[in-house]
Structure 1
Amino acid sequence: MIRPALWLCILLLAPGLAGAVEGKLVSPFAAAGIDDHLGKHLPLDAPFTDQHGAAVTLRQYSGKRPMVVVPVYFTCPNVCSAQLANLFMLLAALDYRPGRDYELVAFSFKPEETPADAVAQLNALARRWPELANNPAVHFLVGPEASSAGLARAMGFRYRLDPQLGEYAHTSAIAAVTADGTLARWLYGLGYQASDLRLALTEAGQGKVGSLGDQLLLLCFHYDPRTGAYDNLVIKALQVGGVLTSLLLGGGIAIAVMRERRRATG
């Protein structure tokens, strides 16, 4: 039989436990992430508005060059500004150029944002990278929730509004998309390198972006979808070869020592 004191404890704790479970189920941070949608075709005809106030779709930027597509929101108080600054810094370090080798599309998944918010973000980036920020192949888009949510969903990009903070929980990542609108690669976080970005654009370019050397370089690297980065196959092969060589040498030495001991005791 349950004692009255124990019943009282259960009754007092039950609302808190239920709230904790309920909070876990609806936690915006638990809902944020990226699903594996590589190879999926993106909705290119969803309506957006660019930083100039013009009605646009992604189809206008597709067809000739791969796209770098970045899900963000321009008034984000946390990581979005750092994410875009990191991207611009790495793009500026490449000899690939927007309009010639790729199109850059950053779209807001916050439906309340306006072209003025996009312009404010671009102006901030223009202080350090004016040539890139003012390039006509750089597009900062806002739009209705149906457009941004549909595009994010097709990309596998999950985010959730935190009603208490009034801000969105989301991950930081950029995507390389082929000219026909197929999601090719994700680069996660802020830790990817210029070499990762170059390889992602080269691969998404499907032979139309980069030199022959860039194409051949892809043979030496393998994209790992779990980490969103490229592993050097040559270095890995050398490492494996080094381990095997060490094992063979160690085994040969052990056999030679055993033979010498047998001779000495024989």
Structure 2
Amino acid sequence: MSRTIDDDDWWWLTGDSANIARITKSVGFNFKRDGDDFAHPAVLTILSPHGKIARYLYGITFNPYNLKLAILEATEERIGPSIAKVIQFCFSYDPEGRKYVFNLLKVVGVVTFVFAIGFVVTISYLSRKRE
């Protein structure tokens, strides 16, 4: 069963490139030109009436219950827990495979960096303690 939506029922947010960049950056929506297209995550950002991010819903289809709950929480200015930044960091969209893939190299790099910093701090602390 397919459902069509009248063109008049769509609302589009339009603007110049500077304003588009400003709003997408403010909600953490990253995109990148890929030939004639744009590569970007499939995400719905739910904002509260005061413009705070209440929730991110990922995917190209949305569970009606989750969507309704996100809208109700946003309406009441209840900001839901979100690990969106972690998910965006750990996964990237593969336009050829048309799916999200785990970015192992990036995650291993960050873990290695954190351990290296921890090692340097520990060694510095221990050497100062001996003096």
User: What band does the TM-score fall into relative to the shorter chain?
Assistant: 0.5 to 0.7
Identity %: 26
Equivalent residue for 2:5, pick from 124, 129, 135: 129
Secondary structure of 2:22's counterpart equals: helix
Counterpart CA distance in 1 for 2:36 and 2:61 is: 27
Aligned pair count reads 82
Equivalent residue for 2:65, pick from 188, 192, 195: 195
Q: Does 1:160 align with 2:19?
A: no
Secondary structure of 1:190's counterpart equals: coil
Describe the superposition over 1:136-158 as per-residue Cα deviations: whole angstroms up to 9, x where unpaired.
Answer: xx521222110000000000111
Equivalent residue for 2:53, pick from 183, 202, 212: 183
Counterpart CA distance in 2 for 1:202 and 1:179 is: 11
Determine the structure 1 residue equivalent to 2:82.
225
Describe the superposition over 1:95-153 as per-residue Cα deviations: whole angstroms up to 9, x where unpaired.
Answer: xxxxxxxxxxxxxxxxxxxxxxxxxxxxxxxx7133xx535xx5212221100000000
Counterpart CA distance in 2 for 1:166 and 1:128 is: 26
Counterpart CA distance in 2 for 1:201 and 1:152 is: 20
Describe the superposition over 1:68-111 as per-residue Cα deviations: whole angstroms up to 9, x where unpaired.
Answer: xxxxxxxxxxxxxxxxxxxxx9xxxxxxxxxxxxxxxxxxxxxx
Determine the structure 1 residue equivalent to 2:16.
144
Secondary structure of 1:184's counterpart equals: strand
Determine the structure 2 residue equivalent to 1:206.
76
Describe the superposition over 1:3-42 as per-residue Cα deviations: whole angstroms up to 9, x where unpaired.
Answer: xxxxxxxxxxxxxxxxxxxxxxxxxxxxxxxxxxxxxxxx
Counterpart CA distance in 1 for 2:55 and 2:68 is: 12
Counterpart CA distance in 1 for 2:16 and 2:53 is: 22
Structure 1 residue 192: deviation in Å? 2.9
Contact 2:24 2:30 in 1 (8 A): yes
Structure 1 residue 191: deviation in Å? 4.2
Structure 1 residue 199: deviation in Å? 0.3
Q: RMSD value over aligned CA atoms?
A: 2.7
Secondary structure of 1:134's counterpart equals: helix
Structure 2 regions of 5+ residues with no counterpart? 85-131
Q: Does 1:170 align with 2:40?
A: yes
Which structure would you say has the larger RCO, counting Cα contacts within 8 Å and 6 or more residues apart?
Answer: 1
Alignment of 1:1-266 (within 5 A): 128-130=4-6, 134-135=8-9, 138-162=10-34, 165-206=35-76, 225-226=82-83
- Taking structure 2 as the reference length, the TM-score comes to 0.53
> Which of the two has higher C-alpha Rg?
1
Structure 1 regions of 5+ residues with no counterpart? 1-88, 90-126, 208-217, 228-266
Secondary structure of 1:148's counterpart equals: helix
